[in-house]
Amino acid sequence: MGSSLITAETAAVAGTPAVAAPEPAPRAPRLGRAVLGMLAGLLVAVAAGFLLGVDPREVKGHVAGAPGWAVAAMVASAFVVLALQALRWHSVMGPLLGLRYAHAYKAQIVGVMFNAILPARGGDLLRVQYLGRRTGKSRATILGTEIVDRWLDWWGWIPTFLVLCALTTPPSWLFKALAIFGGILSIWAVAMVVLTRRGYQPRPGSRLGPIFAALRTGIDAFRAPRTWFIALVIAPLPWLWEAMVLTQAGRAFGIEMTLVQAFSVMIGFNLAMVVPSPGAVGSMEAGGTAALVFFGFDQSQAMAFIFVYHLTQLLPGVAGGAAVLVAEGERLFSFGGARSALRSG
């Protein structure tokens, strides 16, 4: 990214006015990067479909035959998942910043909208910017709570997995995947604790000092007693809900999944999202289809189901985020002598 974006984003996180930046770069390069990212994700899906023996004509037939009730239920479920994710984030930052649940929910939807456009979950940073502008709270502190919330989101896999283990035995690869991921989360947790106790201290008088102090205030929420409750009770809710929805929606495509299989499919398409395509286009289809094929489901049915499911989760967030910004007349960045960082190169 250009220096103008770095300058504006740094100022935005600090909660201070942006320094004058050069004129924005043309839209064409940015649009080109987004298109290339989506193409990369689609190539992953095409390659996975080829390796799994997916017949495109059969996929088209399964998609065309999707019942309306199933599509409507999946769209409604998308807003429930957003509501549960917002509840988790609000539980982290609400007591610290005094923000309402509605703030967290709207910011969550705005973030989903931009995640559909930007690769590598860039929309998560823009939801921080939106919430900071909308409430006047420190962007650095909000960002700190988001770091904690992201940890809690992925931690939610662990208690969900333990609950499902009580019902049946998951596949062996799921044990290995979550063991590795649990190790990463443990290192992440230790890093947050160290940062809030004996971490790096900027030089006295440094411009970075107030930003870092505010960021650490947000991350300090990780050490609050309520975090244990969030981690064990609230964090698993979106994953459990989505697993139940997958079992029901899959039946409309002739896919009869157990809860453990549905959870395994979710882990599969989330791990595949390491391919940084905007909106996880293609990568989610590849990971979810591979997991379903592992359980013996028809390749074409699996690809069609994941494709439709992805759209029903992606499009409501895009539409909802746009509706929030338009209804509130919100601009994510100030337009003084500087242009919007969103429009910077």
Task: Give the pLDDT confidence of 77-111 residue by residue, as tens digits.
Answer: 999 999 999 999 999 999 999 999 999 999 999 99
Q: Which range, 106-120, 194-208, 250-264, has the best average confidence (pLDDT)?
A: 250-264
**What percent of the chain is modeled with pLDDT above 70?**
75
Query: Would residue 237 count as lying in a domain?
Result: yes
Range of the domain at 201: 3-13+25-334+336-340
Inter-residue contact 142 to 131 (CB < 8 Å) = yes
Residue 31 has a pLDDT of 52
Question: What is the model's pLDDT at position 149?
Answer: 96
Q: Is the pLDDT of residue 247 over 70?
A: yes
The mean pLDDT value of the chain amounts to 79
**Closest Cα to residue 84, out of 178, 152, 12, 138?**
152
pLDDT at 1 over 60: no
pLDDT tens per residue, range 289-334: 999 999 999 988 888 899 889 888 888 888 888 888 888 876 666 5
Q: For residue 279, what pLDDT band results from cuts at 50, 70 and 90? A: confident
Distance CA 119, CA 53 (A): 28
pLDDT band at 10 (very low <50, low <70, confident <90, very high): very low
Q: What is the mean pLDDT of residues 126-138?
A: 91
| 216 found inside a domain | yes
What is the 3-class SS of the chain, one letter each residue? Answer: CCHHHHHHHHHHHHCCCCCCCCCCCCHHHHHHHHHHHHHHHHHHHHHHHHHHCCCHHHHHHHHHCCCHHHHHHHHHHHHHHHHHHHHHHHHHHHHHHCCCHHHHHHHHHHHHHHHCCCCCCCHHHHHHHHHHHHHCCCHHHHHHHHHHHHHHHHHCHHHHHHHHHCCCCCCHHHHHHHHHHHHHHHHHHHHHHHHHHHCCCCCCCCCHHHHHHHHHHHHHHHHCCHHHHHHHHHCHHHHHHHHHHHHHHHHCCCCCCCHHHHHHHHHHHHHHCCCCCHHHCCHHHHHHHHHHHHCCCCHHHHHHHHHHHHHHHHHHHHHHHHHHHHHHCCCCCCCCCCCCHHHCC
Decide which of 44 and 108 is more confident. 108
What pLDDT sits at residue 198? 65
| pLDDT over 60 at 76, yes or no | yes
Question: Of residues 58 and 134, which shows the higher confidence score?
Answer: 134
In a domain, 20, yes or no: no
Structural domain contains residue 169? yes
Range of lowest pLDDT (75-84, 113-122, 142-151): 113-122
Between 165 and 87, the higher pLDDT residue: 87
- 120: pLDDT strictly greater than 80: no
Is 19 contained in some domain? no
Mean pLDDT of 271-277: 76
Q: Which residue has the tokens 């494709």?
A: 307
Query: Is 345 inside a domain boundary?
Result: no
pLDDT score, position 229:
95
Measured CA to CA, the distance from residue 11 to residue 141 in angstroms comes to: 13
Lowest-pLDDT choice from 12-26, 49-63, 186-200, 212-226: 12-26
- For the chain, the domain total comes to 1
pLDDT for 175-214, tens place per residue?
A: 988 999 899 999 999 999 988 886 667 777 777 888 888 9
